[in-house]
Structure 1
Amino acid sequence: MPHLSIVVLPFANIGGDPAQDYFVDGVTESLTTDLSRIAGSFVIGRNTAFTFKGKAVDARQIGRDLNVRYVLEGSVQRGGNRFRLNAQLTDTETGSHVWADRFDKPAAELLDMQDEIVSRLANTLNAELIAAEARRAERSPRPDAMDLYFQGRALQNRGVTRALLTEARDFFARSLALDPGNIEAAVAAAQVEVSVGSAFMADDVNTHFQAAETALNGVLLHAPDHPRAHMLLGAVQIQTNRIENGIAQCRRSLALDRNLADAHGFIGLGKYQSARCEEVEGHIQEALRLSPRDTRAFLWYMFVGLAKLGIKQDHEAIGWFRRSLELNRNHALSHFHFATALALVGELNEARSIAEAGLALDPGFTIRRYRINAKGDNPVYLARRQRYFEGLRLAGVPEG
């Protein structure tokens, strides 16, 4: 049975309003298209899926008939001036529910909301399916290249720490050893290098960015339209002083996959590093619109916090950094930036406590490492960083 294989069954139109059929079928068709963009997925075509419309179904039987691991089904119900969309993902081998969620929206926005609903569903399912495949792979006595890939991706989705990244890198290396042509594992391995460089986990972050860029250029030779490869190449360029090129790469990735919320996040980072701090929040809001519970959202909140800090809106910055840590504490750099903002407004006790938690995650972090690895030469960006060094000192981060 193919990895991450799924059929999107036609969503049920509860209440039978024929005017809603167009919307319900549109959600089903769009989801079928968008889920097929998930790395490593195999999605049954809409023509086959629509043969089940209006029929009572048994997930296990459908799994056997269509040779798929997962069934996604759902319903749309209208009540007054609101409507509710329910969706659930079922494992066809066990018949158990892997995930379920619901969306409530004003009915007037129905068709306007279709793309947003589909994006949110696709992004949520991306993370849920990776986690489900990783759990399945853990039970496999002889994991194949894709099993190892999904286990590495699940680790990446948990945060950005040296331990998580080292373990993920090992899974991707094992995957590529079994299948050197596994493009998804190659892209994910490059993302590890991008993460190390982005989080200042090395004294010379550029060696990691160079390794990522070499790998991504290799991928794009074989798969020139790979959305995440373009996005990650954009992230590298943004952080190695080629900001406009990097933003253009991220925009290209969105043209290839409109649901790639992380690309909006990286564009926001590019605006911050080119000292256009006032523009950052808009890009992050777009990312959150597409994927409000994204596994990477903690980074996007940090980007806005940095932008607010850059224009001396320190108390606003604190709110964004605090939310970043609430979403995911497995990221030392979010701690250090939060501690900086707290220190700059005189909250020294909390600043030092947060900085200590960051140093527990990344004991090698120093002000010197942060200073020498400036990701750009924009004079306004560089001048604004000087305040951050002072905040880090006040928070007790070692000079190095």
Structure 2
Amino acid sequence: MGNGALAIGPKLPRPSSTLPSLTLGLIGHRPVFLLNWLRFPGPRCVLSERVERRLAAVLAADVAGYSRLMTTDEEGTLARLKAVRKAIVDPAIASYRGRIVKTTGDGMLVEFASAVDAVRNAVEVQRRMAEQNAAVPQDQRIEFRIGINVGDIIFDDNDIFGDGVNVAARLEGIAEPGGVCMSDDAYRQVRGKVDIAYDDMGPQPLKNIAEPMRAWRVRLTGQTSSVVQSDSAVSQHQTLPLPDKPSIAVLPFQNMSGDPEQDYFADGIVEDIITALSRFKTLFVIARNSSFTYKGRAVDVKQVGRELGVRYVLEGSVRRAANRVRITGQLVDTAAGAHLWANRFDGGLGDIFDLQDQVTESIVGAIAPAVEKAEIERAKRKPTESLDAYDHYLRGLASSYRITNRQANEEALRFFNKVIKLDPGFASAYGRAALCYAWAKTNGWISFTPTEIAKVKKLAQRAVELGKDDVIALAASGYTLAFVARDLGGGAALIDRALAFNSNWAEAWFWGGWVKNWLGEPEAAIERFARAIRLNPLDPSISGVRAGLSHAHFFLGHYDEAVSWAAVALQDNQDFQPALRMEAASGAMAGRSEQAHQALLRLRQMNPTLRVSNLKDLLGPYRRAEDISRYEEGLRRAGLPE
């Protein structure tokens, strides 16, 4: 034995089962108890070697569909796999200081000293594999599934064992082909250190692992958020019950134009169908952002129904060529997988709104025949007669859904301003333009002078004048007037009016939640945020809802819940200042000093002039003075100077 270790007792043959035991031994001149494993059968003393343990990041990988590939082309598959290993996999592992522990026919086990290195290695491999597979037929692609865990491992004869290894292997089993799945322990090690987005998969039942384990999916370039299921069943965490009225999700329509630049047009068609359907109080309509998490993926409508909690799914495609457009659609019952309705609509671009009317009316007729004619006529209402203005509105929407930085926000505002210039009667464009200013204020991208505030108020007021029954115009204007112009009463009334008109629009519930926070009604705010999440359960930009929930719990004195919601909000956008402020304030009040201090450091890096004295300029129009005082006290305890 090495290192001067001595244990007493005869050595036994290697058994099939093990039990832990302590034996007395020596290290140097000191007597110690050594943990070893009694090998049964037979009650004997044991000569044991000291077990070498260490904490490591373990990566397990295999080839999805390997048996099928081998059956189809054994020699070709082996040759392609060998080439991939040589060109992509092995160099990446070496680059990130990994050690290949062992390989099997279609997989490998790799050890890293750092979870960051393990994740970066996995992402590089999967991205390069995706690039290489782009020109390869689907049935011939070599696609890896990768699982990553951080845990205590046993090192023996250049091999590794233990739960740290087993969990990585099980996580690889629930990863998507071309995807990466990691444990919660690994996620905590890489959060904030690797510029990658993650999706919370919730507790996952893993084979031969006693308790469900929380898992995270790495969102690679080009991927959208999704819910991943275990092999055995959909976990309870991921399954949503059906509402008590007809429910529908409209999935992204496929762009058949052959030009990726036309994606915005297909997306805009779906946006309009969702908006039209959501006006029907007899329907439960999933919001656009959750539906669009399925964009670019082949989907199982039964799984979509479980994940979104809907009875019906609408799929379709849009083909635009010259001045002609073709829209196809099919309605599917998610429980039975049966097609209930399918149709095709052809026309010139000048008739685009008539085509959308036909699609919407046909869908409603298939799933809710009792809907009154007046509601159908309302759904047909055209947003504008100007095709140029409408085209720019769609482009502005496409930009607004990608708002993660100042440049994207400014691009969206330019599009909406152009819409207003082309069609001064387009109510929703005014509301969307006003929202761009609200988002700029949220992130501290602009200092609002009285002139700027007057401009925002004018946009919002014009939206309301033009769109007396337009949910987008009403709710967006109400939120902006409350937040930017600090007209809390007027803004709250507009959002309530919008919700009375259309209770299916998730954003209206979201903005209404913030208004309830400002009014000093945190319980009502939590209810509204919960409704927003239910209508939009897979929204990849849901950080605003989570930040709102953290504020509501903070004002209720639930500091642990508040800091937890703030931390979850920062998973989507680590620079989201409302969430950072709340992580600092609630963390300090909950006694989590280090977490609060780190959040405040990040906050002050982004805004060096931040002080307790100027905090009110950034916060919303809180009606209760005690709410502002509590906010200031939390940040003061976190270390914010006066």
Question: Which TM-score applies when normalising by structure 1?
Answer: 0.61
Give the whole-Å Cα distance in 1 for the aligned partners of 2:498 and 2:625.
Answer: 29
Are positions 1:213 and 2:457 aligned together? yes
Q: Deviations over 1:60-79 (max 9, x none)?
A: 79878x95465443422547
Aligned to 1:279: 524
Counterparts of 1:56-135 in structure 2 under 5 Å? 68=325, 70-78=327-335
8 Å Cα contact 2:580/2:603 also seen in 1 = yes
SS at match of 2:613: helix
| Structure 1 alignment gaps of length 5 or more | 1-22, 40-57, 93-113, 116-142
- The alpha carbon displacement at 1:206 in A equals 6.7
Shifted more, 272-281 versus 385-394: the winner is 385-394
Q: Alpha-carbon deviations, 1:15-72, whole Å to 9, x = none?
A: xxxxxxxx9xx66899999944639xxxxxxxxxxxxxxxxxx9779878x9546544
Tell me the C-alpha RMSD between the 2 structures: 4.4
Aligned to 1:386: 629
Paired residues of 2:316 and 2:329 also in contact (CA < 8 A): no
Give the counterpart of 1:248 among 487, 493, 513.
Answer: 493
Per-residue CA deviations over 1:69-120 (Å, capped at 9, x if unaligned) read 65443422547xxx899999x9x9xxxxxxxxxxxxxxxxxxxxx89xxxxx
User: Which SS does the other structure have where 1:368 is aligned?
Assistant: coil
User: What is the Cα deviation at residue 180 of structure 1?
Assistant: 4.7
Residue 66 of structure 2: aligned partner = none
**1:263 Cα deviation (Å)?**
1.5
Contact 1:197–1:206 (Cα < 8 Å) also in 2: no
8 Å CA contact retained: 1:194, 1:208: no
1:229 to 459, 462, 473: 473
Equivalent in the alignment of 2:357: none
Tell me the residue number matched to 1:38.
Answer: 275
Q: Compute the displacement of 1:231 (Å).
A: 0.6
Structure 2 residue runs of 5 or longer lacking an equivalent are 1-242, 252-268, 277-314, 347-366, 369-386
- Which one has the bigger strand percentage? 2
1:121 corresponds to: none
Are the counterparts in 2 of residues 367 and 392 from structure 1 also a CA contact under 8 Å?
A: yes
Residues 210 and 320 (structure 1), Cα distance of their counterparts in 2 relative to 1, 3 Å cut: farther
User: Percent same amino acid among aligned pairs?
Assistant: 21
Which of the pair has the greater relative contact order for Cα pairs under 8 Å at 6+ separation?
1
Secondary structure of the 2:394 match is helix
Deviation string, structure 1 residues 335-361 (Cα, Å, up to 9, x no partner) = 222222223223333333333444555
* Mapped partners of 2:563, 2:620: distance in 1: 22
TM-score, structure 2 length as denominator? Answer: 0.40
Partner residue of 1:189? 433
Question: What's the counterpart of residue 10 of structure 1?
Answer: none
Instruction: Tell me, in whole angstroms, the C-alpha distance in 2 between the residues paired with 1:187 and 1:338.
Output: 31
Task: Write 1 or 2 for the structure with the bigger share of helix.
Answer: 1
CA distance in 1: counterparts of 2:248 and 2:324, whole angstroms? 20
Alpha carbons 2:442, 2:578 under 8 Å: kept: no
Give the superposition deviation at 1:315: 0.2
Deviates more, 1:190-199 or 1:389-398: 389-398
Asked if the contact 1:225/1:256 (under 8 Å) is kept, the reply is: yes
SS in 1 for 2:439: helix
Residues 203/151 of structure 1: CA separation in 2 closer, same or farther (3 Å cut): same
How far off is 1:396 after superposition? 4.8
The answer as to 2:542 corresponding to 1:297 is: yes
2:585 paired residue number = 340
d(CA) in 1 for partners of 2:573, 2:339: 28
Q: Label 1:186 to 1:396 Cα distance change in 2 as closer, same or farther (>3 A).
A: same
Distance, in Å, in 2 between the alignment partners of 1:237 and 1:362 is 25
Determine if contact 1:268/1:281 at 8 Å carries over to the other structure.
yes
Question: For each residue in 1:339-398, what CA deviation from the matched residue of structure 2 results, as whole angstroms up to 9, or x when unmatched?
Answer: 2222322333333333344455556654433224554463xx322222322332444556
Amino acid at match of 2:546: Y
Compared with structure 1, are the counterparts of its residues 147 and 394 closer, same or farther at alpha carbon in structure 2 (3 Å cutoff)?
A: farther
Based on CA coordinates, which of the two structures has the bigger radius of gyration?
2
**What SS is found at the alignment partner of 1:73?**
strand
